[in-house]
Amino acid sequence: MIYYGEKNMVKKTRRSIQTSGNHSNKTKITAALLVFVLMGSGIALIFSNSDSNENINNEFSSNIVPTNCPENDKSTPRTIDFIRRPPRCIELNKTHTAIFDTTEGEIRFLLDTSLTPNTTNNFVVLTNYGYYDNTLLFRLDPSIGIIQGGSPHTNDWSDPGPGYTISDEGGLFLPLSNGGVKGPFTYSPGQLIMARSSGLNSSGAQFFFSTDEKVSLLDSQGSYIVFGETDVQGLSILKKMMDLYEIDENSPYGGGPKRQLLIRSVTIEIE
């Protein structure tokens, strides 16, 4: 059983964010402040990136009680830590598209507000708080055709998440004797999918993209919630990202991209 979530993972060595070059630290990012406590407590991380060409404001608030919805224009202060899950902010009768501005190109995902409204709402709210901005796509796994991201605290799979988890949805989820979960989903290339740890209702903020047919190997689990789908152009960019994979004995994942894959920002288009 394979898990990809924020909890119950062994902490890995953090990679510094680079805007160009390979993953051998060509561009250094200094962690100016790091406070790491258990999930649900305060976690704050401010980056100083003086030698980067990216003009991104990395200051953010922490420990927010999300009683109000953030502005869709992202004018709300960046926040990556919350005391509880967000309220309903999306309008179910409107189309929501997540636009990922990455160092490899723009990828658009049409979000599912019908089958997975709560998952989509969670992603939209976090996006509008700037949660995913200036974060790495930190894991490529060609054996199952996925690219993983969504970890602003650590930029790896040990990230503690936003301070809460969301409920499973989209079908029947059954707990297994080994502590895992069997869910209703099947997987194909070009999907936006929530990561999770073991147990029911364990997704938080991490996600992964599916890049090719090998992702169907996860069908036997079916517990990773699919909540978005890209188009042909977006899938071509995902495939080009996966083509950057190379074996790396120093990587906690067994390999990684030849150059770091940065999400500059994510925005939500509403129609």
- Specify the pLDDT at position 89: 96
- Specify the pLDDT at position 216: 98
> Could you tell me the residue ranges of all domains in the chain?
30-270
Give residue-wise pLDDT tens across range 182-197.
Answer: 999 999 999 999 999 9
Integer Cα distance of 271 and 162 in angstroms: 27
- Specify the pLDDT at position 236: 98
User: Measuring CA to CA, which residue among 211, 222, 191 is closest to residue 261?
Assistant: 211
Neighbour tally for 231: CB within 10 Å: 12
Look at domain 30-270 and name its CATH class. mainly beta
- Specify the pLDDT at position 5: 58
Integer Cα distance of 62 and 82 in angstroms: 7
Integer Cα distance of 133 and 151 in angstroms: 10
Integer Cα distance of 121 and 126 in angstroms: 9
Regions of the chain where pLDDT drops below 70:
1-67
Give residue-wise pLDDT tens across range 37-74.
Answer: 223 333 222 222 333 333 333 344 445 555 689 999 99
User: Measuring CA to CA, which residue among 248, 265, 207, 192 is closest to residue 13?
Assistant: 248
- Specify the pLDDT at position 68: 82
Integer Cα distance of 223 and 186 in angstroms: 9
**Beta carbons of 109 and 241 less than 8 angstroms apart:** no
- Specify the pLDDT at position 175: 96
Integer Cα distance of 262 and 142 in angstroms: 18
Integer Cα distance of 212 and 239 in angstroms: 8
- Specify the pLDDT at position 178: 93
- Specify the pLDDT at position 42: 31
**Beta carbons of 192 and 207 less than 8 angstroms apart:** yes
Q: Enter the pTM of the model.
A: 0.79
Q: What is the enclosing helix (H) or strand (E) of 137? A: strand 135-141
User: Any idea of the CA torsion for 175, 179, 182, 185, to the nearest 10 degrees?
Assistant: 120
**Beta carbons of 175 and 218 less than 8 angstroms apart:** no
